[in-house]
Structure 1
């Protein structure tokens, strides 16, 4: 294990801001920089446009999900805008969500030539950092990332350090992630049911669909190993309180190790099953055996396409509101079908605990030969015209701007996905088609003062002392977790097997995590 010095974040950000405000353009082995940014979308290696055209560089960028149909058009326009400044070409490689954890880990471990890569704490961020695969970004941000810093709050950077350093650019547009049930509004109204206000209302609707719609599956969640936090039962943790159950810093999406309320303790389901969690598992089992949850839940890989078919009554979704692409696809595939967003996250001030950490990140691997240019590109994306292009597509073709902060999507050939590579709270637009309640949630959660700050804000878990235990535990959990929380296996039998195989490694991880938390809290 390499020893890493802990740098002061405040000093780093001060240096960045000083560079942004007053420093002269710097020069390095990639070319010289100056202050001319007159060309559309232009940005210099440090602050303006290049005085001499840089040699072309192709950046290999690893992104999750499916390649949008018109991605090539967007890349062509982006490269045109960058040609006279940072002169970057884009080689975007898309990896299916279901294969993301394994394939990206293999890429990094094998030293594959990659310049930017998506990662997340729920994926394998801490493990990849401990393995030494990612470049610390302080110097690169200071020299080439002034705009990328400016569009993110100091609080956002402070809360998203790993082992005391910035190892990846945090991606997010609020301080609390949205969680939603996408509901077939037309079917709800068809049965004369009022707007859904509670989880019981949701399930009542699902049973009504089961009784009356032979071609519609009532409930859909995710069943793949890399998507455990959006399994049916586990998803409920995002929307229920008393106690407020939060995922730990050690096991990403898993609830086996968890925090409860805001007491700084690490709890372990293998030590004592949390009654609330067990109720979610049992509920999922009943819904599955009653034929409400999709029977092939563990085998489905492309959940979005299943939702888009219009043959799902309720589906879980990791954002507030109904995405335009899904709304359009459902209406196209089932004339008259309409989705509405239902969330049980409360907007009472102080009700929700957060450590202000973001769920998604963009990292620069150490093997990259184009680290400076990769940061220049991230900086370029933090300018409004460029952000709009990569987030929403070509104006008039893929989207219509509505004022400075909203948009309407046109067609389905370029779907919204800034969350995978460029997301920031300053440039991000809200969907103009969002309902009033969804807009309320976004605005509420953009204000940090509306949330309760976790006592673990700023804490970063170093997994290196238990990296082998984490690897072994994750392999065990992948066999049982989704089956449990999606109701596809008998709870008692499955939990007994899971506990027998995973308990010892989970305990070692828990002890190490608690040790680090105690040290962190003692140092505050």
Structure 2
């Protein structure tokens, strides 16, 4: 779904003299040029810039204490940036449609969340976003230095920065949340393999009524978390089958063996992928997978409510707010995190691509001030406020690089706007194994660099085909990979409708990749 971590050596800080000289030539900032981005106090004889309200659109649900956090942020910026924040939260299930309509209608938005799995490349091709290279050089020294150069290089589009990548590691963690209390109640040993996981799921189905054994993601926007597709992250994916850059959450067009080629399931079905689809079908028919899987908008809701024994998650460990919500209904209940990722050095490929970006729409009337705000937010003290809430009320510091949430007034969501490896803290409530895994993802030496690292697909030549294809895929993909429909008949229908479009996309993608590799 929505988060990825990154780390690495920080790049050099942009020279302050260049920053100040550049600021003076931009109209929106006005007299803000007299204060360096992120400055918290006016210099003697300077004029405070005119007030502006930045409208920011991000996914998720608004935390209870969010307004108090924003009020504190505005107070801190009052004598420097003089910015007010109008942050609009969009439910995940509505995100694709809402952001698409917002951008196509020309509605005035200053910052907006987007991602390769959403419609980032399509919106870039449509000219919806402002190139940020010059704005970052002038107004974003903290943004630049807080992200490693490899991260910037791998996340440009046609050589330009079209969105600020948010994350703090080279590979995203993948786990199942497993009800440890139920596992122990059923006398089942700690889960080490996927087969162990499924045996536990069947035991829950047989012996624990009113608990859904397995809840994968059913919404198309999160199709990478569907039961069958999620299997490609595990160690038994010997050929390293991965979604291709053109359709970043879909296995229909895919890469394997790091050979620089794009493969097409409509041309020839991969035995491993077909086995994942067939297995999902069996689990669904056996009522192990939730019968309502395609209607579940947020997989963590049944988890919090104590209604699920196994839930998929895109991060290592168990989030503190999820654990607390579960225990509030049943103090004896507890989740543990189980991963089947291949931890052997060099076994996992990384292209250093990010899953989460924040971009500046071209229609924004406050582009400079928007980047100045994000630069302010990339300073440690301000980052702490926006990411964890009000100190000592919503969270407490554990040393210099860890945190612990207090209560349920705030939640963790930095990936939607400010996440970076330099100012980020690690959750102190996580167990030692999770902390170890987080450190593993932060070390680039643990992974093999994908041949396609740094490649970004220009979808302009096939934008119409992609639009038509994704509409067709939405009818079939999640249903197939969650076992809701008969694989044979629905695959045939899917192929008949979508194969010609997928072929055009594949050929264009391979053409661009060949040109990219020829230049390396």
Q: Name the TM-score class by shorter chain.
A: over 0.9
Q: Does 1:220 align with 2:238?
A: no
Q: Distance in 2 between matches of 1:49 and 1:60?
A: 30
Residues 1:494 and 2:490 are matched in the alignment: yes
Query: Could you tell me which of 197, 202, 217 is aligned with 1:202?
Result: 197
Q: Deviations over 1:132-153 (max 9, x none)?
A: 0000000100000000011100
* Separation in structure 1 between the aligned mates of residue 351 and residue 368 of structure 2, nearest angstrom: 30
The CA distance in 2 between the partners of 1:87 and 1:120, in whole Å, is 29
Work out whether 1:233 is the aligned partner of 2:222.
Answer: no
1:99 aligns with 2:66: no
2 CA distance for matches of 1:495 and 1:51? Answer: 66
| Separation of aligned partners in 2, 1:352 and 1:471 | 31
In the aligned structure 2, how far is the partner of 1:517 from the partner of 1:257?
14
Q: Is the 8 A contact 2:20 2:138 kept in 1?
A: no
Q: Please state how far the C-alpha of 1:44 moved relative to its aligned partner.
A: 8.0
> Aligned to 2:79, which of 81, 84, 105?
84
* Counterpart among 109, 114, 117 of residue 112 in structure 2: 117
Tell me, what secondary structure is at the counterpart of 2:294? coil
Match of residue 478 from structure 2: 482
Who is 2:423 aligned against?
Answer: 427
Distance 1:370 1:35 in 2: 17
Q: Which residue of 2 aligns with 1:172?
A: 167
Structure 2: how far apart are the matches of 1:277 and 1:411? 42
Q: Does 1:246 align with 2:242?
A: yes
Higher RCO structure (Cα 8 Å, ≥6 apart): 2
Cα deviation, residue 51, structure 1: 3.2
Write the distance in 2 (CA, Å) between the matches of 1:258 and 1:32: 47
Aligned residue-pair number:
506
CA-to-aligned-CA distance 1:37-86 (integer Å, 9 cap, x gap): 9xxx74589xx999321111111101001111111111111111111111
Between the aligned partners of 1:64 and 1:189, the Cα distance in structure 2 is: 36
Give CA-to-partner distance per residue, 1:256-300, whole Å, 9 cap, x none: 000102100001000000111111101111111101111101111
TM-score, normalisation: structure 1: 0.94
- Structure-2 change in CA distance of 1:49 and 1:437 (3 Å): farther
Distance (Å, rounded) in 1 between the aligned partners of 2:44 and 2:325: 41
- Residues 296-305 or 493-502, more deviating: 296-305
Shift of 1:33: 3.2
Corresponding residue number in structure 2 for 1:388: 384
- Note if contact 1:308-1:326 (Cα within 8 Å) is conserved in structure 2: yes
Q: Is the 8 A contact 2:32 2:81 kept in 1?
A: no
2:466 paired residue number? 470
| Aligned equivalent of 1:267 | 263
State the alpha-carbon separation in 1 of the partners of residues 406 and 44 from structure 2: 32
Residues 1:303 and 2:299 are matched in the alignment:
yes
Match of 1:10 in 2: none
- Structure 1, unaligned stretches of length 5 or more? 1-12
Query: Which of structure 1's runs of 4+ aligned residues deviate more than 6 A?
Result: none
Task: String of CA shifts for 1:327-357, please: whole Å, max 9, x gaps.
Answer: 1000001221001111111222111101100
Between the aligned partners of 1:22 and 1:247, the Cα distance in structure 2 is 41
The one-character-per-residue Cα deviations of 1:432-463 (angstroms, maximum 9, x if unpaired) are: 11122211111011111211101111111000
1: CA distance, partners of 2:46 / 2:100:
39
CA distance in 1, matches of 2:153, 2:17: 21
Is the contact made by 1:33 and 1:49 (CA closer than 8 Å) also made in structure 2? no
Aligned-pair RMSD on alpha carbons?
Answer: 1.8
Kindly indicate whether the alpha-carbon contact (under 8 Å) linking 1:44 and 1:376 is maintained by their aligned counterparts in 2.
Answer: no
> What is the rounded CA distance, in whole Å, between the counterparts of 1:270 and 1:131 in structure 2?
28
Counterpart in the other structure of 2:33: 33
